[in-house]
């Protein structure tokens, strides 16, 4: 997903280097559990505490990495709702207006690496679990994790296609947010979508389809 602006969530992270970035203090606490009602995602806040070192464990599904749901449950931007998507996530370039600066996320990235006890030399992407293009919280530690693997990665395509489905009206925003936060690998199945030939279609209405890549491409 090319962009003329550097992406804070696209850095290749070398944990040994990242651990040296400690100029700003990021508060630590025990691995936080979601504080909202079952099924709801936390509302994002920059004051949320970072989990303590070595309290978070990566999971996997179909060979793909998943964050620890107790540490990284996902969190959403309160400015992004179903009735505001045309002026926010569905407006080209909007994510650039909410993306936090690297001066802040570099420090958060180092703390997050410690939370997940990543080994020196491990590489990955500092990723918004609920992507910015789906209304994810920009700088809440509960919505950020070091996603192992190559850059770009399979989750990027999931984000783009869910964004296209939401902005076209194929599905609603909240189910898409919950699906990608709960398990991004199975998100299409969770919201009743299938992907075929570059298009995203409703599983139960195969003729209801949209182009799988549209809108704000810099949205991770």
Domain spans in the chain, listed from the N-terminal domain onward: 59-211
Q: Each residue of 28-58: pLDDT tens digit?
A: 544 444 444 446 899 999 999 999 999 999 9
Q: Each residue of 50-106: pLDDT tens digit?
A: 999 999 999 999 999 999 999 999 999 999 999 999 999 999 999 999 999 999 988
Residue 163 above 50 pLDDT? yes
What is the pLDDT, as a whole number, of residue 10? 41
DSSP string computed for 32-100: PPP-S-TTPPPBP-TTPPEEPTT----EEETTEEE--TTT----B-TT--GGGGGGTTTSTTHHHHHPP
Residue 20 above 80 pLDDT? no
């Amino acid at each position: 997903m090319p962009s003329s602006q550097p992406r804070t969530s696209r850095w290749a992270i070398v944990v040994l280097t990242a651990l040296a970035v400690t100029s700003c203090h990021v508060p630590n606490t025990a691995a936080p559990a979601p504080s909202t009602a079952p099924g709801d995602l936390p509302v994002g806040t920059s004051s949320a505490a970072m989990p303590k070192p070595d309290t978070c464990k990566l999971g996997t599904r179909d060979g793909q990495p998943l964050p620890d749901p107790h540490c990284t449950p996902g969190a959403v931007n309160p400015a992004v709702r179903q009735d505001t998507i045309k002026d926010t996530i569905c407006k080209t370039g909007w994510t650039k207006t909410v993306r936090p600066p690297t001066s802040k996320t570099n420090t958060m990235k180092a703390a997050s690496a410690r939370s997940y006890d990543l080994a020196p030399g491990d590489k990955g992407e500092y990723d918004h679990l609920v992507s910015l293009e789906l209304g994810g919280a920009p700088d809440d530690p509960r919505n950020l994790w070091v996603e192992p693997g190559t850059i770009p990665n399979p989750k990027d395509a999931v984000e783009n296609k869910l964004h296209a489905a939401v902005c076209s009206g194929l599905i609603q925003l909240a189910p898409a947010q919950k699906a990608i936060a709960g398990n991004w690998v199975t998100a299409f199945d969770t919201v009743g979508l299938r992907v075929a030939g570059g298009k995203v279609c409703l599983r139960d209405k195969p003729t209801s389809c949209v182009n799988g890549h549209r809108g704000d491409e810099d949205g991770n």
